[in-house]
Amino acid sequence: MIAVTGVTGNLGRVVVDDLLTRIPATELVAVARDPRKAADLADRGVDVRAGDYDDPASLRAAFAGVDVLLLVSSPDVTPGVRPRQHGNAIDAARDAGVGRIVYTSAIGAEDGQGFLADHTTTEGLLRESGVAHTLLRNTFYSEALVNPGLRDAVAAGEIFGADGGKPVNFATIRDLGLAASAALTGDGHAGVAYELRGPLWTLADLARVVGEVSGTPVAYRAVPSAELGGIGFVHDLIASGLFAEPSDDLEKLLGRPATGLAESVRAVLAG
């Protein structure tokens, strides 16, 4: 039996949909804080169970009879909250007899700083738990930069950024979800930390590709990150070089090359 948490989120839904092509619905447990939001999965024969990271008892019940668990990291970045929530889930999984936990960690989690430190702490909790586990050190979603907002860039003829010329190894939500599904169902994943990263590209590359796909020249213009609003911190992380290192782990789990920049841009502009 495989259980997936966070099934109403973008990543969790990709994982569940792919698992349903790999295993019978009767062997899949979908865990949601509000099961009503996953009613469509129940209609497909999936066992939908209530599970709240802040309610350890609900987690123990949700994980009963589960062999492999995908622990999707909590979206709550309030200091101190995620490690507590993840600790609740790990303890519940151990108490329920789960054989292996697959955790959606993050790039740089081997020694994370700031909000990434939550993943470092969680990885430590997994080691201390004694439960076999697999770490998926996910890069950031490419959708943070490759999204419908690019249509505005086409209209303006410019893309603004503060990447310091450093590349990103962002990956699509779909690719990361499919990789998680593979790690849940295949053999030889216990004790492995996968560095899940996409192909390298810069914001200047993004501007060039947007121009090529749209047929309208688009330039990249560097600005201070403070001028970029809420996404400015992402550009600061890019400029720090956090996303500059490649890895072929994602390609190995997918069994194919990770989705490239041009393909992602074409999909966004076509939509």
Q: Tell me the CATH number at 19.
A: 3.40.50.720
What is the rounded CA–CA span in Å between residue 54 and residue 59? 9
User: Which residues form the domain of 125?
Assistant: 1-138
What does the alpha-carbon distance between residue 116 and residue 176 come to, in Å, rounded to a whole number?
18
Long-range contacts of 44-51 (CB under 8 A, 24+ apart): 44/20, 46/16, 46/20, 48/7, 49/3, 51/5
Asked if residue 126 belongs to a domain, the reply is: yes
pLDDT in tens, 40-91: 999 999 999 999 999 999 999 999 999 999 999 999 989 999 999 999 999 9
Phi, psi dihedral angles at 139 (to 5 degrees):
-70, 180
Q: Is residue 189 part of a domain?
A: no
What's the pLDDT tens digit per position in 16-37?
Answer: 999 999 999 999 999 999 999 9
Q: DSSP secondary-structure letter at 266?
A: H
The answer to the question of residue 89 being in a domain is yes
Q: Is residue 154 part of a domain?
A: no
* Assigned domain for 53 exists: yes
Total domains present in the chain: 1
Q: How confident is the model at residue 115 (pLDDT cuts 50, 70, 90)?
A: confident
Kindly indicate the confidence band of residue 186, based on its pLDDT and cuts at 50, 70 and 90. Answer: confident
Has residue 9 been placed in a domain?
yes
Residue 113 has pLDDT above 90, yes or no: no
pLDDT (tens digit per residue) in 150-182: 999 999 999 999 999 999 999 999 999 999 999
**Residue range 95-107, pLDDT digits in tens:** 999 999 999 999 9
